Amino acid sequence: MKLFKATERDVQTIQDIVRVTITEVYPDYYPEDVVNFFLNYHSLDSIEKAVCREYVLLAKLGEKTIGTGSLFKNEIKRVFVLPDYQNSGCGSLLLDRLEQRAEKAGYATTVLDSSFPAYSMYLKRGYEPIKYERIITQKRQVLCYNRMAKMFCAKGKRIYDVILFDLDGTLTDPKEGITKAVQYALASFGIDETDLNSLIKFIGPPLKDSFREYYGFNDDAAAVAIKKYREYFAEKGLFENKLYPAIAELLAELSERGKTLFVATSKPTVYAEKILNHFQILKYFKSVVGSNLDGSRVVKSEVIEYVLNKVKMSSDKRIVMVGDRKYDIIGAKEEGIDSIGVLYGYGSSEELKKAMPTYLVDSIKTLRDILV
């Protein structure tokens, strides 16, 4: 069995493979209108456009073309094997090659949409469902499918000129200061929270969201809680903080190599600058961008967007966001830049894998290997 890259001359062959597979296999799993939806979705026009922009493979056994699959960035798409040749290893061969290409390009994850017939196969290959999707067809039938992702250690390496760092959980360990400030704020509402570990969940997200989600505060109560939080944090909590080992050395090395560094945090800018200055690492950053004390610009995508407007680079491929929570990864995706999830902070492996960063690292040493 041989694989070769498809060209515009292969568009009809690709559609033939897709249509035969859908027509013969999908009626066992889907109602008629859903089958028709798939047929219309994989039209000749859509396949022609895909061949122009995607990495499209065809699988050949002798003179017979029996399967196809494609890759766009790190997304695997349109994997089909003719019914008579299924369970022959063709699908696995196509997926192996597409995953290898994504990994070589530096991605830490491949993603795909799984039909019912292929779901168990993807599970065996190490894919995990990350989102359950539904589409309503014209005749009101429901198409359900899973968005799935597979994480692996990316072997490729990209060169980044501009690096955005989250602060809490990425550059410093703020556990003591943040949890004590939250404890102080809750006490003003008569809530006696003695277990500081239970307040770790406040590290990362905007405070307003956390007070509403975890304690049911309305907007007015959350605003009061934030004011009380800042009473403690501005005086004591700022400095109840620790710089992660080897971070200062990493920043110094990146600066020496001509990298442009920013801090992009949901913490108010004024507090972030004081913390960085306290640890004598403020000098390494071109700018520190955080939220405003009036509660604006707290969403991570807004912070990243503000930084990008400062940078004004022609290619987003040379910019990366480094952070320990899903908000950092999601914000980077929304702004179209790469991301690195760090597991030494406060985001769990499960949380970060579901967010699908470009890279996932478990140590500052591994982070250095990517950035330097």
One-character DSSP codes across 30-72: S-HHHHHHHHHHT-HHHHHHHHHHSEEEEEEETTEEEEEEEEE
Residue 156: per-residue pLDDT: 57
For 201-260, what is each residue's pLDDT tens digit?
Answer: 999 888 999 999 999 999 999 999 999 999 999 989 999 999 999 999 999 999 999 999
Give the separation between CA 341 and CA 335, rounded to whole angstroms. Answer: 16
- Do the Cβ atoms of 81 and 21 come closer than 8 Å? yes
pTM given for the model: 0.63
Res. 22 pLDDT band, cuts 50 70 90: very high
Give the separation between CA 127 and CA 111, rounded to whole angstroms. Answer: 8
Residue 36 has pLDDT above 80, yes or no: yes
Residue 133: per-residue pLDDT: 86
Give the separation between CA 154 and CA 369, rounded to whole angstroms. Answer: 12
- Do the Cβ atoms of 169 and 188 come closer than 8 Å? no
- Do the Cβ atoms of 172 and 243 come closer than 8 Å? yes
Residue 13 has pLDDT above 90, yes or no: yes
Residue 334 buriedness (CB in 10 A; 0-12 / 13-18 / 19+): middle
* 316-343 mean pLDDT: 90
3-state secondary structure 240-266: CCEECCCHHHHHHHHHHCCCEEEEEEE
* 55-66 mean pLDDT: 95
Residue count of the chain, please give it: 372
Lowest model confidence (mean pLDDT) among 40-54, 264-278, 307-321: 307-321
Residue 154: per-residue pLDDT: 52
Lowest model confidence (mean pLDDT) among 9-18, 186-195, 266-275, 308-317: 308-317
Helix (H) or strand (E) segment spanning residue 176:
helix 175-187
Smallest CA-to-CA distance from 169 within 309, 282, 62, 266 is with: 266
Of all residues in the chain, what percent carry a pLDDT higher than 90? 69
Query: Token match 């692996």: residue?
Result: 152
Residue 9 has pLDDT above 60, yes or no: yes
Residue 254: per-residue pLDDT: 97
User: Which letter, b or e, does each residue of 343-363 get, where b requires 16 or more Cβ atoms within 10 Å of its Cβ?
Assistant: bbbbbeeebbbbbbbbbbbee
Res. 108 pLDDT band, cuts 50 70 90: confident
For 288-327, what is each residue's pLDDT tens digit?
Answer: 999 998 888 989 999 999 999 988 765 556 899 999 999 9
The Cα diameter of the chain in Å comes to: 77
For 138-183, what is each residue's pLDDT tens digit?
Answer: 888 888 888 888 876 555 567 899 999 999 999 999 999 999 999 9
Residues 6+ apart with CB under 8 A from 224: 188
Res. 269 pLDDT band, cuts 50 70 90: very high
Res. 109 pLDDT band, cuts 50 70 90: confident
- From the candidates 96, 161, 166, 362, give the one annotated as an active-site residue: 166
Give the separation between CA 82 and CA 257, rounded to whole angstroms. Answer: 52
Report the mean per-residue pLDDT for the chain. 91
Residue 125 has pLDDT above 90, yes or no: no
Question: At residue 259, what is the residue type?
Answer: K
Query: Kindly report the CA angle at 202 between 367 and 245, in degrees rounded to 5?
Result: 30
Q: Is 166 a catalytic residue?
A: yes
- Do the Cβ atoms of 154 and 106 come closer than 8 Å? yes
User: Domains of the chain (ranges plus CATH)?
Assistant: 2-151 (3.40.630.30), 162-173+241-371 (3.40.50.1000), 175-239 (1.10.150.240)
Phi and psi, residue 198, nearest 5°:
-70, -10
